[in-house]
Structure 1
């Protein structure tokens, strides 16, 4: 059995002393965390390890000795002294790690290590160097295992490297040992310099607690006002559920409540989510302010307000031409003249009402658009949601056309399917929700045949109107869908995690890889452990923030089925698996 010794690269040039770390018997591994230098008092070293173990809940011990023999130092006296320390700090196995003269020759012995019968003597040792800072700050998402040269192709252990990463993470208090003792015990390890950057950081930490309490109180007060009974009266809940602005404001309010909660993050995943929410809000507000500055600089609001009424008139004129084309002989098709004229005049009257509504609102258009621009101060997503609602209001006549056409077409399809079952001697059983056999008399068959013939001849006219207005509706839906996808991207993009993967790839570890440093006969195999970062796609999938349900959940097959049978569709926005 191979003994694996994890040794920090920051200690390769340390002075001789004791190896302090943790022994993992399940993995036959020894994780070295620090080197205690001479001179020291053994009782002080034991007290230090006991305090760190009590604070960090990780079992630390003296694993062995470390000898760094330089060219000008005598080797025999130091070696005898280090061997005598095994009687004071008893541990099995007792490691004797030495870097000999010249710095390129390493030796490692494990005294008291049980060997299987027939195993070579001394026991084989694998020396693995690791960057203590990278392992301490990283989060291992896919624990790998260490290759065992004598194990062949055995399946890897799930907790192989997880124990190593967990040991280093929970032993962070050892690296700040000045908090636990005032004695002359000197350690060599990765020094956590730069974490406490400046006094401004300390002041920010001190002020974050009262600030979070105050903001949390204000947000809870705002939530209590929103939950008032006055806002529950119909039709306010129904209108708020249909407006994208209300949904986005509710979503951002939940983000702010989570972000400014005084409760401490319970896990690194929750802390990462908080930071991602903070950067998502920061990006949203920054983009909104940039949009507002551009609108004010270019005077786009005034230009858009001046062009809105002429554009509406142009759209209305084109729709009138389209309806007049449908009321004639579109594409040479022979339509039902009476039904065609009724439907055409009905839709033309709606266009006339819509144009009157636009001209009535024209004096207030610029003020409304300015308020939409000012809403960008709350974030770009709020402005985009408000823009989506304005598009829905401005194209309400197209929505009405689509609903009228879809309902008529759906009624025709259901009528034809029911009459088709009549010809086959079947009927739909409403109670059992199935098709049963049924016998019809002559009068029922005659009336059914007459109605079926009428519906068949009227179907092309209604289907043509339904097709045209459905295409117009899908065009509006595509515009709104693009806005909602952009909102969803800003809401759910884990910006901090992506930036961390770009600037500090070792922080998000997908596993490790090993590079052979030295492999000589009679010498320990020396490997260098390097961290494999997560891929960008996996970072986005792992740390993606929950959105407000703006993404489409209908498959293309389900969407085509709904379009064919005339069912109303809302492909741009669904929540809780239910159509709005």
Structure 2
């Protein structure tokens, strides 16, 4: 069986000593974690390794000896290191040595398991200890992502990565620390630390406590019984701004919580939420500064009323065209005039309302612009609600036309069943046979004829106002898609993939360093980072859905039969 020795590249120039690491018998592999240098007392080494095992839950032991010929000053050092195998009694005992004047390494084993083995059956794998410890190995996604052999190799790599990651406490001690044990590992040049980061950690505790207290007050106010009564509950559930504020409130509660993350996934989720909030607020402040610069709010308020007048004039021209002979179609004159005047009156009421509110529009926009400091998503949600309010008359036209068209469609379908001797059984929810008398057939024929000849006029109005309504819904849908993108995009994970790609690993690749007959094969293990699409898919944040529950086929069916499609969406919280 081939013996694999995972050797940290940072220890290749270390002084002679003992190899400390974990032995994985099911893989016949040894993961070297550190070097123990002279002088040391074997009893103290065993006590130190026992304490490390209790603290890290990793079976750390002395795997063998390491000899650096550049550091050796006595010829008996090799023999002494070999004799240490009888004290620590690890089977097999690995003997690694760096020969002087040669680029090749020497590696052999001693013990019962190594009888009959040769050095050609040993593979020394270099690995970057720091990158392996900080990286998170992700499993291959998909039911057929890889064959069974590749899945087994991935599980073996996960064991190596997990061993190095769980040995973090071992890396806190190096050769410069006072004590009987002197180690060499990836932090041998000094433990990494940042004064700024430590100060921020200390300052974040009272800040998080204050934010948590304020958020609890806001959350308690939002859950008060006063807001559960109609119409406040109806407005809270339908306005996009209220939905977005509630979503961001949950994010703030997660970020400011003093509960420690249980695993790496929860820690990444917190970091993604924090960076999403930060970027959202920065974009919102930039938008607010742009709006209040050069009196753009005033220019927007002055252009809003003429824009509303222009839209109203276009709608009036459209209604005048429908009240005539649209596209050469012969319409029912009486019904056409009634519907046209009805809709023209609604437009007149709406324009009167806009002109009545015109003196207050600039003040309203000025205060609404301040909400951008809460984030760009809040500003976009307010924009979506403003569009819904400004186009409320178009929605009313669509509702009137859809109700009238739906009534005619269901009336014609019911009368069509009457001609065929059928009826709809409400109790059993099916079509049953039925016998009708002469009077019923006469009245049914009369009503069917009237509804059939009135249908083209109603269908034309329904078609026009449905297209206008769909245009508004498309604009609102694009805004909601942008809000969902900002809410759910894992900015921290993407930034981590861009700056430190090894932190998000999808696997490893091996590069041959040395290969010669009679010498151990030396490989360099390099980390393959996750693709950007996999990063987004894996760490995407949950958000409320802004899409209708119905499928495209169901929506087309509803549009054809005239069933009402409401302007607001059914927002459902996605689960992790």
Query: Structure 1's 179 and 551: CA in aligned 2 closer, same or farther, altered over 3 A?
Result: farther
Contact kept in structure 2, 1:554 and 1:571, CA below 8 Å? no
Distance 1:31 1:92 in 2: 14
Give the corresponding residue for 2:77.
Answer: 78
Counterpart of 2:138 in structure 1 is 141
* Equivalent residue, structure 1, for 2:56: 56
How many angstroms apart in 1 are the aligned matches of 2:415 and 2:572? Answer: 36
RMSD: 2.4
Q: How does 1:10-409 map to 2 (within 5 A)?
A: 10-70=10-70, 73=72, 76-112=75-111, 114=113, 121=118, 124-142=121-139, 156-177=152-173, 182-191=178-187, 197-409=193-405
Answer with 51-60 or 445-454: which moved more. 445-454
Label 1:154 to 1:114 Cα distance change in 2 as closer, same or farther (>3 A). farther
Q: Which position in structure 2 is the counterpart of 1:423?
A: 419
Give 1:214 deviation, angstroms: 2.1
Q: Output one character per residue of 1:389-441: Cα deviation in whole Å (capped at 9) or x when no partner.
A: 11111110000001111111111221222222222222222222222222223
- Aligned residue for 1:156, secondary structure, equals helix
**Which residue matches 2:534?**
538
Gaps of 5+ in 1: 145-151
Deviations 1:275-309 (CA, angstroms, capped at 9, x unpaired): 11111111111011101111111321100111111
Q: Give yes or no for contact 2:212–2:257 (8 Å, CA) kept in 1.
A: yes
TM-score normalised by the chain length of structure 2? 0.94
Give the distance between the partners of 1:342 and 1:179, measured in 2 at CA: 94
Provide the residue aligned with 2:429 in structure 1. 433
Specify whether residues 508 and 378 from structure 1 end up closer, same or farther in structure 2 by C-alpha distance, changes over 3 A only. Answer: same
Deviations 1:189-227 (A, max 9, x none): 101878754333222212222222221122112111111
CA distance in 2, matches of 1:509, 1:575: 34
CA deviation profile, 1:473-517 (whole Å, cap 9, x unmatched): 111111111111111111111111101000000000011111122
Query: Matched residues in 1 for 2:224 and 2:58: separation?
Result: 50
**Cα distance, 1:255 vs structure 2:** 0.4
CA contact (8 A) 1:401 1:469 kept: yes
The alpha-carbon distance between structure 1 residues 63 and 185, as it changes in their structure 2 partners (threshold 3 A), is same
Aligned equivalents of 1:280 and 1:9: distance in 2?
37
Q: 1:555: Cα distance to partner?
A: 3.8
The alignment's TM-score, normalised by the length of structure 1, stands at 0.93
Alpha carbons of 1:67 and 1:167: their partners in 2 closer, same or farther (altered >3 Å)? same
Partner of 1:149: none
Tell me the equivalent position of 1:147.
none
The CA deviation at 1:25 is 1.5
Measure, in 2, the Cα distance between the counterparts of 1:481 and 1:398. 17
Secondary structure of 1:575's aligned partner: coil
Residues 125-178 of structure 1, C-alpha deviation per residue, up to 9 Å, x if partnerless?
12111110110110000279xxxxxxx979735521111011000001111026
Residue 212 of structure 1 contacts residue 262 of structure 1 at CA under 8 Å; is this kept in 2? Answer: yes
**Secondary structure class of the residue paired with 2:485:** helix
CA contact (8 A) 1:95 1:110 kept: yes
Structure 1 residue 332: Cα displacement: 0.2
Q: Which runs of 5+ in 2 are unaligned?
A: 142-147
Q: Give the conservation status (yes or no) of the 8 Å contact 1:407–1:566.
A: yes
- Greater shift, 266-275 or 434-443, is seen at 434-443
Secondary structure of the corresponding residue to residue 304 of structure 2: helix
Question: In 1, Cα distance between the equivalents of 2:349 and 2:41?
Answer: 94
